[in-house]
């Protein structure tokens, strides 16, 4: 896949919540069209980083530029997909895909449903679909906007293993076809190596490893080169202690863990 121009430039990005510094100076250049996976211990700051890229959080310091412009001016070109599909149960599949669109959106919505293999369920209700199908609808709802940046926050985490493999193939196919930039947060190191051009290990808010995945496509999950890369990433993660949960006193006097 051709990659050249920088899409995202993160410069010394920091984020704290109260006294807790969650991102401690992240600097990255992400070329247009690159597929980046972010892995790391629970609580190391992966979702916070993604939420900053989606414009759902503001950084405490540092900057993110998209195509040379402040990220905030480019936000309409990105879409975020979560582990839960966030479909509206009182709207049909087609209406969910066209949510918020004006004018003659139905044809476009049917076209993206075809791309995700669900054109035949356009008139179904979300409750009539399987978990994998609902995630396909969520993907179609993102794709209808033709995003240049697709942000994926563990979107396959709740799916069974076979559905997950199907979804991985679908995401890879659509990415190759449309050439958007992807930032995927995942707990699954094999999934990261299977899909990404580059895997970043976050360690307590810092980049601990930035590893290019120089494997051809389509990829064989069981090939030795992939297994070696997975091993390298796992070693890096396991060498780090998981972040200590932050215990804060609540107003009621009960202590709770973040
Ligand atoms: N809105 C918030 N207010 C206060 N603290 C927050 C907020 N969002 C995240 N945090 C804290 O920031 C830290 C990093 O959270 P984040 O969700 O980014 O981690 P993560 O690596 O995505 O974890 P996981 O893999 O478990 O989803 C955690 O300690 C979390 O409690």
Segments making up each domain of the chain, as ranges? 6-84+148-257
* Separation of CA 53 and ligand 1 centre (Å): 15
Per-residue pLDDT of the chain (258 residues; tens, 9 = 90+): 444 578 899 999 999 999 999 999 999 999 999 999 999 999 999 999 999 999 999 999 999 999 989 888 888 888 988 888 899 999 999 999 999 999 999 999 999 999 999 999 999 999 999 999 999 999 999 999 999 999 999 989 888 999 999 999 999 999 999 999 999 999 999 999 999 999 999 999 999 999 999 999 988 777 899 999 999 999 999 998 766 665 544 444 443 332
The closest residue, in CA terms, to atom 19 on ligand 1 is: 43
The predicted complex's ipTM stands at 0.97
* Separation of CA 220 and ligand 1 centre (Å): 33
* Separation of CA 110 and ligand 1 centre (Å): 37
Predicted local confidence at residue 84, as pLDDT: 85
* Separation of CA 240 and ligand 1 centre (Å): 17
Q: Is 6-84+148-257 CATH 3.40.50.300?
A: yes
Atom of ligand 1 lying closest to residue 205 CA = 14
The closest residue, in CA terms, to atom 16 on ligand 1 is: 45
Pocket test for ligand 1, best of 13, 38, 46 (most atoms within 8 A of CB): 46
The DSSP-derived string for the chain is ----SEEEEEEEEEEEETTEEEEEEEEEEEETT-EEEEE-STTSSHHHHHHHHTTSS--SEEEEEETTEEGGGGGGGEEEE-SS----TTS-HHHHHTTT--SS-HHHHHHHHHHTT-GGGTTS-GGGS-HHHHHHHHHHHHHTT--SEEEEESTTTTS-HHHHHHHHHHHHHHHHHH--EEEEE-S-HHHHHHH-SEEEEEETTEEEEEEE----SSPPTT-HHHHHHHHHHHHHHHTSPPPPPPEEE-TTS-EEE-
């Amino acid at each position: 896949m051709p990659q050249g121009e920088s899409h995202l430039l993160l410069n010394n990005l920091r984020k704290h919540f109260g006294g807790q510094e969650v991102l401690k100076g992240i600097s990255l250049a992400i070329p247009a069209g690159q597929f980046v996976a972010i892995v790391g211990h629970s609580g190391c700051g992966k979702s916070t980083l993604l939420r900053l890229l989606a414009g759902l959080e503001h950084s405490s310091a540092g900057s993110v530029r998209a195509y040379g412009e402040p990220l905030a001016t480019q936000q309409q070109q990105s879409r975020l997909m979560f582990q839960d599909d966030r479909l509206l149960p009182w709207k049909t599949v087609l209406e969910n895909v066209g949510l918020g669109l004006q004018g003659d959106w139905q044809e476009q919505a049917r076209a993206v449903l075809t791309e995700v293999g669900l054109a035949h369920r356009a008139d179904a209700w979300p409750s009539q679909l399987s978990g994998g199908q609902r995630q396909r609808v969520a993907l179609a709802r993102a794709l209808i906007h033709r995003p240049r940046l697709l942000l994926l926050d563990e979107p396959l985490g709740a799916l069974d293993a076979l559905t997950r493999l199907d979804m991985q193939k679908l995401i890879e196919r659509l990415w190759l076809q449309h050439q958007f930039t992807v930032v995927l947060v995942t707990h699954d190191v094999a999934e990261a190596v299977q899909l990404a051009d580059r895997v970043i290990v976050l360690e307590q808010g810092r980049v601990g490893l930035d590893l290019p995945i120089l494997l051809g496509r389509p990829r064989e999950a069981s090939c030795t080169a992939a297994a070696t890369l997975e091993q390298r990433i796992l070693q890096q993660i396991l060498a780090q202690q998981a972040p200590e949960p932050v215990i804060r006193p609540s107003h009621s006097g009960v202590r709770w863990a973040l």
